[in-house]
Amino acid sequence: MSGLWCHLQTTGARSTGELARPGAPSEGVTARSAVRHGVVLVWLPVLLLFPLLNLSGEALPAVGQVVLVVALAGAAVALVVTGRVRVLLPVLVVLIVLAAMQGEGWQTVWGVLAIVSPTVLRGWRLLVAIVAATVGVAVSIALIEGIGDAYLLSVGGTLLSGITTTSFLRLIEAVEQLRRTREELARAAVAEERARMSRDLHDLLGHTLSVMVVKAEAVRRLAARDPEAAAAHAADIEEVGRAALADVRVAVDQMKTLSLADELDGARRALDAAGIRTSVTAAPAEVPDIAGQALAWVVREGATNVLRHSGAASCRFELTEDGGEFRLAVVDDGIGGPVDTSERSGGLEGLRQRLHAVDGRLDVRPGVDGFRLEARVPAS
């Protein structure tokens, strides 16, 4: 019985020990709930067949006994479908007691309580209902028919029907819960993938288009007085555009990787072309691929922010290794302060997520004398 108690404590879709909510089924009238109801109610004709075959008219007239069976079946169906436990369960128990008193062959009605209870009860209330059904059939048979060869079969069958129905319904609920969990995980995976793609496209195109705009401005300035320099910048625009197309294709294929050294060199050339004095200090001789890719995104986003927002005259990139961490700082002397950080929040949030994925962190410190973007990534 202790094993049965542990099994009945499982909650399925509802909390342990709770009654079904009165007024309506907790999951609504759905196709799956209809299947569960059908599985339970299909046994009603079997259990009520024996009373109908034993109409005697001793306790009640035969017509009255038929009405009693119909009322009992109606109460059971209404209880399973509507879940009105506080109203219908007492009515059902009273009808079962009246039916069990009609004479020999009527004691199977206690099985109705055993198979209906798992649909509307949980926890200790369900245990009480199944035990009550078992005790009820045992007492009824002993008083009316006496203890004979079929006694243990009837008592054991009632108990087994309650346990089997409970196990089957909880299995169905567990399968439904797993299905809902799988759907939620699928939706979360899609949302996460969309966020990742948005982040990649922002980082890829934001930087590339900023570089192309800067070089286009240089072409416009130099076209009249220095055609050769303008042509060189125009060639750079073409090269950057082709590289951007390749980057987008790779990002869509989920194969995008960045080189920290290439990004540092590209950022220096882009900033120099915009007239921003740029210096790169890279102390570590070698940076692992995972850390290098994360820091490469920092370089790209940092250079984009300097080009688009800072109005800086100089910028420096500092890459150092300290205390088992790689530290990359992007420092410019442009306009600082909180008023300038609002436009940067989208890209910075993407960087935070990238760094968080490799146990790194991002520190943004705007001030009156410039803007400092610092990322730290574990060396191992």
Report how far residue 225's alpha carbon sits from residue 102's, in angstroms, rounded to the nearest whole number: 114
- Do 176 and 264 fall into the same domain? no
On whether both 170 and 286 belong to a single domain, the answer is: no
Pseudo-torsion of CA 277, 281, 286, 290, nearest 10°? -60
Q: What are the contacts of 64-69 at 24+ separation with CB within 8 A?
A: 65/102, 68/95, 68/98, 68/99, 68/102, 69/99
CA atoms lying within 13 Å on the CB side of residue 283: 10
Does one domain contain both 152 and 269?
no
Say whether both 288 and 181 belong to one domain.
no
For 314, the domain range is 257-380
H or E segment at 352? helix 345-357
pLDDT of 332-367, one tens digit each? 887 754 434 444 455 778 788 888 888 899 988 876
User: Does residue 360 lie in a domain region?
Assistant: yes
Same domain, 306 and 175: no
275, with CB counted inside 10 A (0-12, 13-18, 19+), is exposed
* Whether residue 176 is found in the same domain as residue 278: no
Q: What is the pLDDT of residue 8?
A: 39
Shortest CA distance to 81 belongs to which of 144, 12, 24?
Answer: 24
pTM of this structure: 0.46
Both 178 and 266 in one domain: the answer is no
Specify whether 143 is located in the same domain as 285: no
Residue 18: per-residue pLDDT? 37
Nearest 10 degrees: Cα torsion 214, 216, 218, 221: -130
Closest CA to 336 of 305, 299, 361: 305
Does residue 198 lie in a domain region?
A: no
Of 166, 186, 206, the one marking the end of a domain is 186
Task: Identify whether 270 is part of a domain.
Answer: yes
Given a contact cutoff of 8 angstroms between Cβ atoms, the answer to whether 302 and 269 are in contact is no
Please give the Cα distance from 278 to 31 (Å, whole number). 67
My answer on whether 143 and 277 are in the same domain is: no
Q: Is 24 a member of any domain?
A: yes
DSSP code of residue 323: T
- Cβ atoms of 287 and 190 within 8 Å: the answer is no
Q: Which two tokens stand for residue 26?
A: 């907790």
**pLDDT score recorded for residue 250:** 64
With respect to residue 207, please indicate whether it lies within any of the assigned structural domains.
no
Asked whether residue 116 is domain-assigned, the answer is: yes
What is the model's pLDDT at position 317? Answer: 92
Q: Is residue 320 part of a domain?
A: yes
Q: 161, 186, 211 — which closes off a domain?
A: 186
Report residue 279: phi and psi, to 5°.
-130, 145
Beta pairing, strands 361-367 & 325-332: unpaired
For residues 181 and 319, state if they share a domain. no
Q: Could you say which of 186, 214, 237 is where a domain stops? A: 186
Q: pLDDT digits over 370-379, tens only?
A: 788 899 999 8
Are residues 378 and 274 both part of a single domain?
yes
Domain membership of residue 248 (yes or no) is: no
* pLDDT < 70 positions in the chain: 1-36, 39, 57-59, 148-150, 204, 249-257, 284-285, 336-346, 367-369
- Provide the number of structural domains found in the chain: 2
pLDDT (0 to 100) of residue 59: 65
What's the rounded Cα separation, in Å, for the pair 300 and 265? 11
End-to-end CA distance of the chain: 55
Q: What is the CATH number of the domain that holds 346?
A: 3.30.565.10
With CA atoms as reference, report the closest residue to 110 among 92, 88, 85. Answer: 92
pLDDT at 377: 92
